[in-house]
Structure 1
Amino acid sequence: MRRTLLAGVALAVATGAGAQEAPVAAKKPFAVKAPAGVRNDEYYWLRDDTRKNPEMLAYLQAENAYADAKLASLKPLEETLFKETVSHIKQDDSSVPYLKNGYWYQTRFDTGANYPIVERRKGDRDAPAHVMFDQPEMAKGHSFFALSDWAVSPDNRMVAYAEDVVGRRQYTVKVKDLSTGKLLADTITNAEPNVVWANDNRTILYVAKDPTTLRGYKVMAHTLGTPVAQDRMLYEEKDDTFQMGIGRTSDDRFVCVVVQSTVSDEQRCAPAATPAALQTLAPRKRDLRYQADHMDGRWIMRTNLRAKNYTLMTVADGAAKQGTAAWQDLTPASDAVFIEGFKPFKGYVAIDQREGGNRMIRLLDAAGKSLPVKADEPAYRMALDVNEEPASDWVRYTYGSLVTPTTTYEVNARTGERRVLKVAPVPGYDPANYVTERVWASARDGTKVPVSVVYRKDVKRDGTAPLFQYAYGSYGNSMDPAVDPGRIGLLDRGVVYALAHIRGGQEMGRQWYDDGHLLNKKNSFTDFIDVTRYLVAQKYAAKDRVAAMGGSAGGLLMGAVANMAPEDYKVIVAQVPFVDVVTTMLDASIPLTTFEYDEWGNPAQKQYYDYMLSYSPYDQVAAKNYPAMYVGTGLWDSQVQYYEPAKWVAKLRDKKTDSNPLLFRVNMEAGHGGKSGRFERYRQNAEWGAFVLQQLGVVE
């Protein structure tokens, strides 16, 4: 074996039968300055916003080559896992059609296709289908493709849509004539995936992105057939801690601009017929959050006004200008029930809520009577589905668990009758072979943390089984149980799967989130560790056969756990991990930074700087033993920039004292979500899945 230095990067070159050694990144002193202190970042040079630096690219390519070499012996298992996953997917599947404005809309996959076809039928579900988007054809010639939003004009003649062919979430908005299938000349670049039509069928509203930070900051109005340079600005958000979106109300009467931060909302609306003069429903105020919809001559708001876990309030059109003073309660505030969302219909409201860690549905009629939709399992999730006909008595929703495949139902709001519209097909899978449980693990401060668990019925609770534990725990995003075709292969090999609902999400209400962010963030990490120790103590798994996984902010979780309790994990998978917390949050030019001061804290303030530094995975890497690790990223990621995990891996290689494998897979043609296409994701998952099984001692 000989080692060479290429463009400042130490690379190992295999000779003879020797195994390739890990790349060693060059160290270059760089001072990261902050009001509260200065840190030396020897790997800061790996950041290149152009993604063209030969030295940086050489290092990433060397990491990929090293991963290839280390994983070569696992290729047969990887291929087996991939084929097993695909065998559990109905390849020619289609969605349940839904009705909107006289047309039935549906997506369907052809066998072997990575992308779906979107089609519609006029008037009747059995009418001839008209293809709106042939995505397999649209994706040809692109290494990445995403059709992320589309909207049909009120007269049903045109469709505006947003596509991304890079993976950096800088979307291009295009318009197609549905009668001819031809694209119009109108093309809008660097936009959010969010398009809305005005009633004139000629005006498209969209959100323009800041070219540097990629923050959506302007609502623009484009008139078909005119130059984009002449588009009118309807609203500009100058506070860079807010992000925005646009939409139409459920009754289609209004177009609304929704501006949101972690702790404050503001909604401006105008008639869809003349979307020019936007009127504010309630001015922004710190710690006031609300989202409003319109139906039956009134506004309905989901809000935290005098209700920490949110409530529904309402105000008649004539009193809307009075702001929150005129809002009246539609539902009472509750310490036990967290309102996740709602959908107004004519004469009633469907409410999406959480209680006891589960997500459920209830229907509220005009007289204030509630009709809860029941479930039969201890750990499950319901969610409102597509409901585009507000005059209907039927509410469509989905149900699923770690054992039950996603099932689409509709329930009658008047009678409570339920009808199954579709059970998601999972070929070769029998739910009767598995069992799901909801257990409550004790955290070190006495808090009970809900955990959803699934395993094969023939797995013994004797403390010998391998465990795969997953969590997220940030932004108030709750993780709900569902059947995953890619997980079945793990379960069938005797792996116990646990979904830890740690603090930082909102599974247990708003306080659950408050107790897991800002200066309470470490609760997320210790919850995860304590769940692991609980499951081992309860003999769900062997202490030396535990795998952990998280992505994005869940990757931060993995980095923190690796530093805090490396001895509790045999192997860790960290996908697109947010691991360089302090440096990233000091840089307002990086996408998402300014949005997130109320999530992580602003390190310009010493108390947050010190706290973030105390858990930031990159800063806390030390000379000690670490578990086996698989780290993944995308070169074009706009959410967590590739250089965060690149720097982290480089520092781990330099500091760690063990001989456990550390693999870094860099997707050179993808962003935050990895490669596009339904099968590509499973192929990537099969790679780390094979690695995990090897480390857990699960052999073929």
Structure 2
Amino acid sequence: MTTPPVAPRRSHLRTHHGDEVDDPYEWLRDVDDPETRAYLEAENAWTQERTAHLADLRSTIVEEIRSRTQETDLSLPTRRGDWWYYSRTVEGQQYAIRCRCAVDDPDDWTPPTLEPGVDVPGEQVLLDSNAEAEGHEFYSLGAFSISDDERYLAWSVDTVGDERYTLRVKDLQDDVVLPDVVEGIGHGATWSAGATHLFYSRVDDAWRPHEVWRHALGTDAGDDVLVHTETDERFFTGVGRTSSEAYLVIAASSKITSEYRVLEADDPTGEFRVVMPRRTGVEYSLDHARLGERDVFTVLHNDGAEDFELAVVPAEGPYDAPETVIEHRRGTRLEDVDAFAHHLLLSYREGAMARVAVLPLSSDGVGAPVEIDFGEELFTAGVGANAEWDPPVVRVGVSSLVSPTTVYDYVLATGELVERKRQTVLGGYDPSDYEQHRTWATAEDGTRVPVSIVCRAGTPRDGSAPGLLYGYGSYEASMDPGLSIPRLSLLDRGFVYAIAHVRGGGELGRHWYEDGKLLAKKNTFTDFVAVARHLVDEGWTSPDRLVAEGGSAGGLLMGAVANLAPDAFAGILAAVPFVDNLTTILDPSLPLTVIEWDEWGNPLEDPEVYAYMKSYSPYENVAAVRYPSILAVTSLNDTRVSYTEPAKWVARLRATATGGDVLLKTEMHAGHGGVSGRYKAWEERAFELAWIIDVAGADRGPHPS
């Protein structure tokens, strides 16, 4: 090819609130149209040609990732009942193998020491995903649920990428797969007590989990019973169990409202009861705890508490008079509670960092929280895998931009942290070779925006360093600092890597989210541009060496800043980007549209929302200016952000922009998360990193030894 593909223009009129728009590339939505497929293939061919010169660099990066990764490895075993559960990977194999080995001493909570490549005595292989994935271009494991008696495994698999799974059951005692098969379910599956029934969800045509079903073990799926239907199209529904395993829980939630139903897990055919009826704008979550002899539900809620407060209610009811145990404090965002027999683990956010605290339980009530001190200055703390309800230790972890993720057992009786596993980084990795920083940019309206930065120690602050700026900024999702092995291939080529914690995320509490959604969404975009300018002003990088990256809703951010400040970036990487957001949110028949109205507004009904969304929609606002180099990556089977959006965006950019190299890469056998398999994922990331290095004009040589 000597010239890029040009998508034909076909008139397609839409009219809303008196505004008529001709969308010439909407025809690309028809995935069954041979011309659509031909166009996507032509774009792939063009991208391959334009990046052919990077083939050696891609291979080098893949080898760098491989050389730093413990390919044959084992996860830290988690105790559940009479077994230690873990997964292991084998060099040369794409997927994990899930296993277990017996607990030798019930009083010993020290996990067994497992050596990579060494056979584990008494190991039982539960599921080998490599064998399951044979013959499939794509493979994703959904449910992986062990029954209470530890005899049965329920698991589900998606081999297309559309996030619709097939559920099966294996008898682990007899090592046979049972005839139970349920097709087309949602992501998870939950056992009842006694392993008599499985609960699962189904999705509607708009990919909304809207039903909860009950399957009796040993019966045909056609006899399954519908337990709950969520009729409000703004709500998802799903099913699980409390940490104690004592209760089944059906959750229903929109972007701004929650409702929970509970049922004793040993009464699976009984009637679920509502804990707190839904009230618009009130969100809550619950778990089961015990205060002495009193069974309670912990309720984390925002009723009159912007950043949430913690309360308890009697498990048997009534539920209308919650007893507050941690009062609301603005700026300290309570995010989650994990309940154990004698303690709670509270996950919360303060000072733009994720933290964990322990609260003792007794007949007198809930004790004061004690934060777990990990001895880090810029860190991300979290709760690990805990399967037992009454353990002497609980699993927690911490990571940073320079420190490998470390998992600890926290001894509840003493507060001691016992290190159990540190992320392996081969090749002589030394955290002291790198440095991390927290800086603050000033947005257009004077708001201070936190920025996390990592680079090699001694990186010059004269603007000469290449830079990569990452952002997301939606759904109150926080982009917390953590170590990335592939990222080292950038840092060792002199890159400065920064995370812009822009409004729309949750880093600074609920108000940070509220200030970046609905009719305040543009704050997300202007914050990101302010961070880019700030990095340049502080000498971290320069505009001709700075690349921006974001995916999904972060891809919307990428498209918006490309229009808003094309001069601020040398390149923009947009993964599965939500760049035709107005068209999508105008069509309630498309996956996820209705539930998204609480996040973006409803442009169908509200002309102000329509005008506002149109004013920032990347696709609607492509201009006849020179753009940075742009790489858009998408997947044909993505049910969350259709391939149509980046395909239309790229077509319009190529037809309108006065300059800038625009590329589109479509995975033809993948979903929203991209390709499956760790080696395929390495190759995909190496493709992106090589493009970033090239666009930023950085050193292509191998990383320093």
Q: TM-score range by the shorter chain?
A: over 0.9
Deviations 1:88-119 (A, max 9, x none): 11101111101112221001101122100000
Report the alpha carbon displacement of residue 382 of structure 1 after superposing the two structures with TM.
Answer: 0.5
Report the alpha carbon displacement of residue 181 of structure 1 after superposing the two structures with TM.
Answer: 2.7
In structure 2, C-alpha distance between the alignment counterparts of 1:649 and 1:104, rounded to whole Å: 50
Name the counterpart of 2:620. Answer: 619
Deviations 1:659-690 (A, max 9, x none): x2111101001011111011211211111211
Matched, 1:365 2:364: no
In structure 2, C-alpha distance between the alignment counterparts of 1:509 and 1:485, rounded to whole Å: 29
Q: How does 1:451-530 map to 2 (within 5 A)?
A: 451-530=451-530
* 1:273 paired residue among 262, 266, 274: 266
Report the alpha carbon displacement of residue 699 of structure 1 after superposing the two structures with TM.
Answer: 3.4
Please, which moves more after superposition, 431-440 or 586-595? 586-595
Name the counterpart of 1:337. Answer: 332
Judge conservation of contact 1:106–1:120 (CA < 8 Å) in 2. Answer: yes
Matched, 1:355 2:350: yes
Q: Which runs of 5+ in 2 are unaligned?
A: 105-110, 113-120, 701-705
Deviations 1:456-510 (A, max 9, x none): 0131111211110001100011111111111001000000000111111111000
In structure 1, C-alpha distance between the alignment counterparts of 2:45 and 2:368, rounded to whole Å: 63
Name the counterpart of 1:8. Answer: none
* 1:263 paired residue among 256, 274, 284: 256
Judge conservation of contact 1:371–1:416 (CA < 8 Å) in 2. Answer: no
In structure 2, C-alpha distance between the alignment counterparts of 1:101 and 1:288, rounded to whole Å: 37
Q: Percent identity?
A: 39
* 2:140 paired residue among 120, 136, 146: 146
Q: Matched residue of 1:453: which SS?
A: strand
User: Which letter does structure 2 place at the counterpart of 1:360?
Assistant: R
In structure 1, C-alpha distance between the alignment counterparts of 2:255 and 2:103, rounded to whole Å: 42
Report the alpha carbon displacement of residue 543 of structure 1 after superposing the two structures with TM.
Answer: 2.8
Name the counterpart of 1:21. Answer: 3
Report the alpha carbon displacement of residue 36 of structure 1 after superposing the two structures with TM.
Answer: 5.4
Name the counterpart of 1:199. Answer: 193
In structure 1, C-alpha distance between the alignment counterparts of 2:15 and 2:82, rounded to whole Å: 59
Name the counterpart of 2:117. Answer: none
Judge conservation of contact 2:442–2:448 (CA < 8 Å) in 1. Answer: yes
Deviations 1:553-588 (A, max 9, x none): 000000000000000000000000001111101111
In structure 2, C-alpha distance between the alignment counterparts of 1:169 and 1:33, rounded to whole Å: 33
Judge conservation of contact 1:243–1:259 (CA < 8 Å) in 2. Answer: yes
Matched, 1:181 2:179: no
Please, which moves more after superposition, 181-190 or 449-458? 181-190
Judge conservation of contact 2:408–2:417 (CA < 8 Å) in 1. Answer: yes
Judge conservation of contact 2:288–2:315 (CA < 8 Å) in 1. Answer: no
User: Which letter does structure 1 place at the counterpart of 2:607?
Assistant: K
Report the alpha carbon displacement of residue 307 of structure 1 after superposing the two structures with TM.
Answer: 1.3
Deviations 1:9-53 (A, max 9, x none): xxxxx4xxxxx21000000000123345332110010012xx332
Q: How does 1:543-692 map to 2 (within 5 A)?
A: 543-604=543-604, 605-658=606-659, 660-692=660-692
In structure 2, C-alpha distance between the alignment counterparts of 1:165 and 1:691, rounded to whole Å: 29
Q: How does 1:127-526 map to 2 (within 5 A)?
A: 128-210=122-204, 212-275=205-268, 276-296=270-290, 297-318=295-316, 320-321=317-318, 323=319, 325-366=320-361, 368-428=367-427, 429-526=429-526
Q: How does 1:67-82 map to 2 (within 5 A)?
A: 67-82=47-62
In structure 2, C-alpha distance between the alignment counterparts of 1:39 and 1:161, rounded to whole Å: 47
User: Which letter does structure 1 place at the counterpart of 2:488?
Assistant: I
Name the counterpart of 2:118. Answer: none
Judge conservation of contact 2:635–2:671 (CA < 8 Å) in 1. Answer: yes
In structure 2, C-alpha distance between the alignment counterparts of 1:375 and 1:446, rounded to whole Å: 33
Report the alpha carbon displacement of residue 610 of structure 1 after superposing the two structures with TM.
Answer: 0.7
Report the alpha carbon displacement of residue 161 of structure 1 after superposing the two structures with TM.
Answer: 0.9
User: Which letter does structure 1 place at the counterpart of 2:609?
Assistant: Y
Q: How does 1:83-102 map to 2 (within 5 A)?
A: 83-102=63-82
User: Which letter does structure 2 place at the counterpart of 1:449?
Assistant: V
Q: Matched residue of 1:554: which SS?
A: helix
Please, which moves more after superposition, 121-130 or 523-532? 121-130
In structure 1, C-alpha distance between the alignment counterparts of 2:651 and 2:163, rounded to whole Å: 27
Q: Matched residue of 1:107: which SS?
A: strand
Q: CA RMSD in A?
A: 1.2
User: Which letter does structure 1 place at the counterpart of 2:53?
Assistant: S
In structure 1, C-alpha distance between the alignment counterparts of 2:8 and 2:76, rounded to whole Å: 54
Q: Matched residue of 1:505: which SS?
A: coil
Judge conservation of contact 1:555–1:578 (CA < 8 Å) in 2. Answer: yes
In structure 2, C-alpha distance between the alignment counterparts of 1:444 and 1:106, rounded to whole Å: 49
Deviations 1:176-205 (A, max 9, x none): 111233222221111111101112312110
Judge conservation of contact 2:263–2:271 (CA < 8 Å) in 1. Answer: yes
In structure 1, C-alpha distance between the alignment counterparts of 2:34 and 2:379, rounded to whole Å: 49
Deviations 1:63-87 (A, max 9, x none): 0000111111110111111111121
In structure 1, C-alpha distance between the alignment counterparts of 2:589 and 2:180, rounded to whole Å: 30
In structure 2, C-alpha distance between the alignment counterparts of 1:415 and 1:35, rounded to whole Å: 64
User: Which letter does structure 2 place at the counterpart of 1:673?
Assistant: G
Deviations 1:411-441 (A, max 9, x none): 1233211111110001122111000011111
In structure 2, C-alpha distance between the alignment counterparts of 1:307 and 1:415, rounded to whole Å: 33
In structure 2, C-alpha distance between the alignment counterparts of 1:337 and 1:100, rounded to whole Å: 33
Report the alpha carbon displacement of residue 625 of structure 1 after superposing the two structures with TM.
Answer: 0.8
In structure 2, C-alpha distance between the alignment counterparts of 1:165 and 1:35, rounded to whole Å: 42
In structure 2, C-alpha distance between the alignment counterparts of 1:36 and 1:144, rounded to whole Å: 44
Judge conservation of contact 2:44–2:666 (CA < 8 Å) in 1. Answer: yes
In structure 1, C-alpha distance between the alignment counterparts of 2:80 and 2:200, rounded to whole Å: 21
Judge conservation of contact 1:472–1:502 (CA < 8 Å) in 2. Answer: yes
Report the alpha carbon displacement of residue 317 of structure 1 after superposing the two structures with TM.
Answer: 2.6
Report the alpha carbon displacement of residue 224 of structure 1 after superposing the two structures with TM.
Answer: 2.2
User: Which letter does structure 2 place at the counterpart of 1:419?
Assistant: V
Judge conservation of contact 2:310–2:324 (CA < 8 Å) in 1. Answer: yes
Q: Matched residue of 2:6: which SS?
A: coil
Q: Which runs of 5+ in 1 are unaligned?
A: 1-13, 15-19
